[in-house]
Each structure stands twice: as C-alpha cells, then as structure tokens.
Chain A
Amino acid sequence: MTTIRFRINGNVVADEVPPRLSLADFLRERRNLTGTHLGCEHGVCGACTVLVDGEPARSCLMLAVACDDRTVETIEGFADDAVMAALRRNFHQHHALQCGFCTPAMLITACDLIRRGRAGSERNIREGLAGNICRCTGYTNIVTAIAEAGKEIASEVRHGQ
C-alpha cells in the first residue's frame, strides 16, 4: 500500500492504495466518481479521459500513485466553468450524445480543445477528437456542438465577459 494525497475537483483527498490501482479505478471505486467511464482499459477509446494538472490524460493508463501531489478534474467537477457550461448547452442543443457513455470524456477533451484554441475549424476539431471514440453519433453533431461552443466562448471573451 502506498499513501497518496492529491486534489480532485478542488478537494484534497488522501488514501492508501495498492500500487497497481489505476487512477480510473481509484476515481470510480474509491471516490464514487463514476462519470469517468472505462471503454477499453488500454488507452484507445478515450472514455476515461480526465484532466491531470490541467491536461487531458487517460485515467485507465495512469496509476493512482502517479497522481500524488497533483490536481485531477473529472466530469463531476467543472463547477462555474464557462467553457464546460457552453459545451453542455451545445451538446444538448445539437444532439451530440446518444447512449451517453463517451460523453463525459468527450466534453473534457472538447473543453481542452477550446481552451487551447484548437476548436476553430472542423478539421482542427476532428483531429482533436482522434483519441475519443463515439460509437453512436457518427461525430457530426459532436463536431458542430464543439464548434458552436467555441464560437460562444470566443464571443464572450470579445465582449469582455
């Protein structure tokens, strides 16, 4: 067992974990943060994507012990986050989800794309989503929703909000 201490969605968390426990299993089984989903557990499907120190990471490939002293954000976080709010609104408006299993991670990746200014064109968005598989939607509406959310955020920035 190894003692770890890190920040999840703004709260400091300390726990004893076996070294082989993945971050995804830690979040889901120990913290009940079940919005982080497991679709392949080998880093391809992207359903387990969370932010670690602000950057998207596969929580299935990352060990919980590797998160000691770091900051993790999951879909259950993002309170008062304008980008996430715009994304949620547009995913709903544009029917960008069906079964909902890829959705939390899709939103987190999209949030990162908008923050990094990589949601300006359809090509950019599509390439940015290469690590997140959706099996239901065919992506068209996801791309539209992200583009629209990006525009809303850009316009809010322009208007000094």
Chain B
Amino acid sequence: MANDGSGIGASLLRKEDERHLHGRGEFVPDIKLPGMMEVAFVRSPHAHARIRSISVPPEARGRVFTAADLPRIKPIRITVNAAGAKAPAWPPLATDKARYVGEAIAACIAPSRGEAEDLANAVAVDFEVLDAVVDAPRDMQGSRHPVHEQWGDNLYVERLVEGGDIEAAARAAEITVSRQFRMQRQSGAPLEGRAVLAYRDHRLDEVVVYASTQTPHTVRVALGEFLDIEARCIRVVAPDVGGGFGPKARLYPEEIILAALALQLDHPVRWVEDRGEHLLTAAHTRDHHYKVTAYADRQGKILGVDAEIVVDAGAYGLWPQGPYQEAAMAARNLPGPYTIANYRARHFTVATNKAPLGPYRGVGRPGACFAMERMIDEVARAVGRDPVEVRAENMVRSAAMPFTTVGGMRLDNGDYPQSVRLCAELLDLPAVRARQQKGEPDGRFVGIGFAAFAEQTAHGAAEFVARGAAIIPGFESCTARILPDGSVVLMVGIQSHGQGLETTLSQIAAHELGIDPARISVRHGDTESTAFGFGTFASRSMVMSGGAVARASRMLRDKLCRIGAHLLQCDPAQVRCAEGAVLGPQGSVTIAEIAHVAHLRMDGLPPGVDPLLDATATYEPAIGTGVFSYATHGAVVAVDPETGFIELLDFAVAEDCGTMVNPMIVEGQIRGGVVQGIGTALYEEIPYDEAGQPLAGTLADYLLPGAAELPAIKIGHLHTPAAATEYGMKGMGEGGAVAPPAAIANAVRDALAGIGAEVNETPITPRRVLAALQMAREAAANP
C-alpha cells in the first residue's frame, strides 16, 4: 500500500508525547490507593554472611515480615536445560545466609516510606560475616567460603565454543597479537527505578500487581509459580515505565514479596525503589574479563581467534533465563561480522558475592565487540595498515550471505564494509588525519576510532532452543479489534517504555487497514487486556509484535472486505481497504458502516460470516535464528596527556536495520543507545572492594552521561530489508549501545599511538588513561 504520510516509513509524531509533556504520564509511584501502606526493606549490609537471628522490636511486630512470616512464598527456581549448569534456589527474603550487599531480609510496612524506613532501621540482624567472593577469575575454581557452599567451586557453568582448527591457524600465522580486556560492572540505571504496587481485588478474586517491568506476562507466570496460585487469579500491569533497558525484563524478589503481602494483609502495599537500592540490587550488567589472541597474516587477514571469557555474574541467576546468557552470547558474538575461520572460546560464568547480573542493552555483545574491535585495530597496527581497511577486508561480503560465523551466528544480509566507509565519511576521516598532522595548540592528542558489529535481533524459537533457554520467547501476539464505531484497538503482549510502539504499531495497522493511525489505540503492558506475550527486550518488539499486528490486521481486513463487498453487492476480490473505507468498483462503504453492521445490525452480514471484528494472531519471523542489523560506529576524541581527560569531539553511526517503520523513532533509539554506550565507555562503573562492598551507591559516584559532555550524534543509513520478516524490518533497539566502548577505546589508542599507550578497560577514566600513559613511558624508558 502506498505511503500516505502515516503508514510504514513515515516519521509519524508520537501518540505517547501528549501525556508526558503535561506531566500526566502514569508511572507506578504515581498510583495511590485508599489504605495503601508503603514498604521499605531490611537489606544485608554484608556481602556474605550467615544470618544467626533477626530481632524485631515488640512495637514493630505485625509490621515487619521475614521469610518465616510469609510462608506462601517459595524460593525462585530457574529451570536449566544445559548439562552441568548450576542453578541455586533463591529465597526472595534471605533465610540462612545473605549473599550480596542489599539482599532483602525483611519487609517493613508503614503509612509513609519514611516511617517504613524507620521500622527497617529498628530491626536488628545478627550476622556471622564470611569471606566474600569478589574476584571472579581468581575465585572461580574455589574459595575459602564459596558463594553456594554445597558447590565446592564458584562456577555456574563453563563452556567451550569452537570452530575450524585454531592450532592450525596458530601455526600458519605470520602475526600473533595477544591482549587482555576488561569491561567493568555497571547498572542499567533507567531514570525511574523499579516499583511495585499490589492489592487484592475481591470482586475478581485476584491479586493485582502494578510493576515497573518490561515483561508483565512472564512476571505473572512467575508469581503463579512462586506463590502457588493460578494465573487467573493474578493480574500484572506495567503502566508507564520510566525506562527499562533490560534490567526490568526479569522477575525480582520484591514483586513476589509485595504480592504475598497484599494477599496476606488484604490492603494495598507499594514499594518504590530508591536510587541507592537500585544501584545495589537491581540487575547489574557487563563485568567481563577477556584474554584474546588473534592470529593473522601479513596483510592483517585474521586466520583465527583464541579467547578466554570470564563473566562475574553475581550471587544468583535472575528468573527466567538465569545467569548463563551473558558469557554465552559474548563467546558466540566475539567473531563479530568477520569471516574468521578458526575459533576457540572457553567461557566461564562465575558466582560472586555481588548483585545478580542481568540483561542490559546489548547483552554480552558490548564486551565482545570491545574485545574483538580492539583486536582488529591491534592487528592492523601490527601489520602497519589503517584499521579502517583491515576492518573492512575481514568482513563478510554481501555475496557470501547468508553466512554462518564461526561463532554460530547466521548473518542474513547487508553490506558490512560499506558501513565502515560511510562512517568514515560521516566523520570526515581525511580532515581528522590532517588535524592530527597539524597537532593541537593546547597539547592534547586527537584520535579517531571505529568499531563494527552485527546484531542478532528478533530471534525466534530456534535461537532460544539452541541456547538451552528455560522459556522460549519466540513469538508475540496481537488481538486487533474494530469497535462498533469503526475505531480500532490493538492489544499486544509487549510493553512500550519509550520505544514509541503505541505509534509504530498503529502505523502498521493503518498500513494494512487503510485507517488513520489517529483512530487506532494500542493497549499493552496489561495481562488483563492482552493475549500472552513475552514483553519488550532483545530488540524484538517492532519485528515480533509488529508482525503480529500485521497478521491480525490482515485477518480483519479480509473480513471487512467480505462484509463490504456484500454491502456493495460485488465480489470480495473486487474490493480493497483504503482511506477508512472498503472501496468497490462502484461506490464504497466506510469501515464505520461495516463495523456498525458487524456489531449492531447482523442482518446485514453476508451468509456464513460471523458478527464481530476481532482477530488474534501470533507471529514468529520465518527464520528463528534472528535477522541481523549491523553498524559501524566512529568516535573522534581529544585526550589531555596531563589530566587523562577525554573529550568526545564527534561521534557517528552508519547503520542498517532493514525497513524502518518510523525513521524518527529509529534515530531516537540509535542516539539513546549510543549515549548509554558512551556511559559504558567513559563513566559508568560499580566497583566492589575486597569485602564485597559496592562503592557506587549514589549518582554522585555512579556517573551518567549528561548533555554537556556529549556531541550531537551523526547517523547515516543503509537499507537492506530482511527477507524473513514482515516488510523487511530488523530489530535495532540495542545496537546503539554495543559499539561505543570499542570505538572510543580505538580512538583513544589512535590519539596516544605516538606514545604507545592503550587503555583496554572500561570505563576509560582519566585515572586509567594516566596509568596507561605512565606504563607506556616506562616501557619506552626501559626497552
């Protein structure tokens, strides 16, 4: 159907904006109910300690709830399908042992949060402090006090990914380059933390749980399992959610505890996470260690890569997928968009006395991209060639696609080398090189760096089965309903929290039905009004939910056409849906008129056609291994050798995500992702000390990127529609966050090339830059 300015390909302005621009959004903390009590938690101040006793002052009895006071709650259990993987049960309120700072021990209720915190402070817990496991590579094979003592070691799982013959590659290599890389632990840090409000609805015989989550339907599944109640008696609602980015795509103990309190106390309870709790206890992310060796020929053609990857996954695995994804995805994605034939990656997922690791924009891939793209630059330097050329030459060519990488990723289509060239153009590479030649008047060093990746998106059942996943989020659903007046409601199983899906999904239905998107509402984030779906994560909602909307809309369109043709007294093959009507060879009938017949005047229906305009469809892309967006990111930096301070002068993205439903929203997602990636590269870090104490508990210690330190982000597009999805869409929500750490580190390396310094750890803080400069100067002085 032609693009009429509001369908697929149009930068339609967002439906979501109006309420937020007037402060009328509805986030969980904005909801108040009569009789509602606020919850604060008693949390462990120790990383690793046995709980000897919990004493509640007599005046606080009945207002403080330990695990013993909430017998309904069962421990969180992860299903594991991979042999040898360990999955510790996790009591939502700690019973015998606390395993990270911030682990919940008791819930306290009071009319205000301040009073609830007063109660929490009055609870005394007697601890026997144990040694904390904080150094994953050192402690993975064992420690004095293992995190889960029955294991003996501290390993969730250990695996090998292999392809080709790495020993042969090593023998054939003319160049061998080895490096170690580290991507530190960080937080997802959506601006709104987590929040839960729960109450009992006696009329409907259900517990209603409002939660700031990306996955309401699976949270309902989990609540049923861990509270032992039927799903029909649980409603989960994710209203406006103030950013998710992955950490809110998992079940949390607090959701179970609040639901249990509501069931037991029979009055509404609300918990609104504060920033300290968020930084301590909401899923952490990244925390990768790499040892990588690349084997290449004299031209920089990479023959093989040998890697060891250690992921510090924290004390427990988050439901549903456990702690295993991060290292496995890093290992499978390390070969990136390249033709590398020989590969070996041993990867380890390690339990430590830190907060559980969960998904965050990019999952596994920012670390893998950081390691691989730094290696590409080092190989290029070792053979004395420009990294831009070596990068492009090692990439998979269009003609070779679909191409399955040695890591097992099936790259579907695209022109990868062109993204490198386009990115170099966007940054005006020759001008940067000329500037470097001239030197800076202030003594700083300017550098330019690039990093490329291919991002698996919208993967279906095949991918999740291959991963041994506990649940298989391989489809999405949509119920499309036309109401008696001809207006449309789309009820979808995903959750939109900034992605603009209320707008883009209506664009798809508008495209299929020929109805103005202004007459289409999108309902999401509520188990009551939507068919089951998995939620919004893994760059999947536009492709998967969009596909379901397309299918359900087409089912309605067929019925509209049958009824319309009957009313127009012609054959259904002679009509089409457009301009809010069914158009026939002679005359037309509006969708409102057809809807009127379908609901209120069934005597006008053709024989054999049932009343109602209501269709539910599911959708899984035709290829279950994912469709791959790809991009090259480029950064220009100025590094001050005196202070180690890095100024980001310019940043560009050259990307291809297939067909863009709404280019304005695509670019918004890219820029937002890039700035989160810049946060990983330069600012964000949650260090732990030897005792397992987290050292970033406020936004004064945990630095988020602000407007003042960022350039405008440039974007260039390539367009290679996917063959396996509706309209050729590819997912793209995460890619922005994948490559900035690598691109910036390569730019810093380029800036400091004259001194021979490199920084292979994120965030690249001034302290780390100065340390690298010191090391390079010492090496130069003592060759």
Contacts and interface: CB of A to CB of B under 8 A. Distances in A.
Interface of A: 18, 20-21, 25, 28-29, 32-42, 44-45, 47, 74-76, 88, 91-93, 95, 97-104, 107, 122, 125-127, 129-130, 132-143
A99 B14 CA distance: 11
A59 to B, nearest CB: 13
A91 B14 CA distance: 11
A135 B498 CA distance: 10
A98 B668 CA distance: 8
Contacts, number: 171
Nearest to A146: B707
A138 B706 CA distance: 8
B668 A99 contact: no
B16 A100 contact: yes
Contacts of B24: 35
Interface residues of B, number: 58
21 contacts: A29-B32, A35-B23, A37-B242, A45-B275, A45-B699, A76-B23, A91-B21, A92-B14, A95-B668, A98-B668, A99-B190, A99-B244, A101-B190, A101-B240, A127-B707, A129-B707, A136-B672, A137-B675, A138-B672, A138-B673, A141-B671
Most buried by B among A74, A140, A142: A140
Contacts of B707: 125-127, 129-130, 132, 134, 139, 142-143
B675 A138 contact: yes
Minimum-distance CB pairs A-B, first 5: A35-B23, A100-B20, A101-B242, A98-B498, A138-B671
Contact of B29 (A38, A98, A142): A38
Contacts of A140: 671, 712-713
Contacts of A104: 20, 23
Given A134-B191, A138-B713, A141-B671, A98 B23 contact: no
Nearest to A44: B699
B676 A135 contact: yes
A42 B21 contact: no
A91 B20 CA distance: 10
A159 B707 CA distance: 32
A97 B240 CA distance: 13
Interface of B: 13-14, 16-27, 29-30, 32, 112, 114, 189-193, 240-245, 272, 274-275, 497-500, 664-665, 667-668, 671-676, 698-700, 704, 706-708, 710, 712-713, 736
Contacts of A107: 21
Contacts of B500: 98
Contacts of A126: 707-708, 710
A116 B245 CA distance: 35
A138 B674 contact: yes
A136 B243 contact: yes
Most buried by B among A25, A28, A44, A47: A44
What secondary structure prevails in chain A residues at the interface with B? loop
Contacts of A25: 112
B190 A135 contact: yes
B27 to A, nearest CB: 7
B582 to A, nearest CB: 33
Most buried by B among A18, A36, A40, A126: A40
A75 B22 contact: yes
B704 A42 contact: no
Given A100-B498, A122-B712, 17 more contacts: A21-B114, A35-B23, A36-B23, A37-B242, A92-B18, A99-B498, A100-B17, A100-B19, A103-B20, A127-B708, A135-B672, A135-B676, A137-B668, A137-B671, A137-B672, A139-B671, A139-B707
